């Protein structure tokens, strides 16, 4: 079930990274008044392909996947969205891809017309939006590179590192835990592997003392160096 609430910028965990960070305080205040915040449950559709684009949205908490679904109902994940990322296709008249919450997530939503008017009026916002789109293009290319790695262990290690860094970590002084929101099947689908291969690879990384699995989604990284070596 979707729940809506007023936007609270002071509590936003991505206030310094989202596209709205390019705006003055007055413009951000106006943006807050025109928008609202929504919460999505894990597995809930955020954007459906074919829908008209009526809002521009930024993910503030959680994670989401962008996917295509063919006529046979087969889904293919084509990108991942981390906090501060854009949801959907804000400058397109209609959506061509599905966006689904991978975890319980939150997003700030703004009416498309008003947001586009602000983009036209504020060069800084337009530049920040362009930078975000460019960053997402780089992420997509990195994903293609990840999938093209020869060894399964390199693919899985690189995916774990991407979520580790998206959680706000560049390095760490000791062991650190975080959630890997993808299910084994989703990891397999994204990486072009079988579920059995993903499971064996995770077990192998545990045996190497690179990671430790905690519960259904928790990952404890024990050696960033081992993961980085495999990913490279």
Distance (Å, whole) CA 81 – CA 59:
8
Q: What pLDDT is stored for residue 201 in this prediction?
A: 95
Q: What pLDDT is stored for residue 169 in this prediction?
A: 53
SS3 54: coil
Q: What pLDDT is stored for residue 1 in this prediction?
A: 43
Q: What pLDDT is stored for residue 209 in this prediction?
A: 93
pTM of the model: 0.77
Distance (Å, whole) CA 220 – CA 226:
13
Given a cut of 50, the residues of the chain with pLDDT beneath it are 1
191-200: list long-range contacts, CB under 8 Å, 24+ apart: 191/146, 191/147, 191/152, 191/155, 191/156, 191/159, 192/147, 192/155, 193/152, 193/155, 193/156, 197/152, 198/152, 198/156
Instruction: Decide if 99 contacts 47 (C-beta within 8 A).
Output: yes
């Amino acid at each position: 079930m979707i729940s809506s609430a007023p936007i609270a910028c002071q509590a936003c965990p991505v206030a310094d990274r989202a596209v709205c960070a390019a705006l003055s305080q007055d413009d951000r205040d106006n943006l807050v008044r025109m928008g609202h915040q929504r919460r999505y449950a894990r597995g809930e559709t955020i954007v459906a392909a074919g829908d008209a684009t009526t809002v521009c949205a930024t993910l503030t908490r959680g994670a989401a996947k962008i996917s295509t679904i063919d006529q046979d109902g087969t889904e293919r994940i084509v990108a991942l969205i981390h906090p501060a990322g854009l949801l959907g296709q804000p400058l397109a008249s209609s959506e061509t891809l599905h966006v689904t919450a991978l975890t319980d997530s939150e997003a700030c939503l703004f009416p498309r017309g008003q947001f586009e008017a602000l983009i036209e009026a504020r060069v800084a916002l337009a530049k920040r939006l362009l930078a975000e789109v460019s960053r997402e293009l780089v992420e997509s290319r990195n994903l293609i590179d990840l999938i093209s790695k020869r060894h399964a262990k390199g693919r899985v290690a690189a995916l774990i590192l991407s979520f580790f860094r998206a959680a706000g970590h560049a390095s760490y002084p000791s062991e650190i835990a975080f959630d890997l929101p993808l299910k084994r099947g989703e990891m397999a689908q994204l990486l072009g592997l079988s579920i059995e291969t993903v499971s064996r690879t995770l077990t192998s990384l545990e045996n190497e003392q690179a990671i430790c699995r905690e519960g259904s989604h928790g990952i404890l990284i024990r050696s960033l160096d081992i993961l980085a070596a495999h990913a490279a």
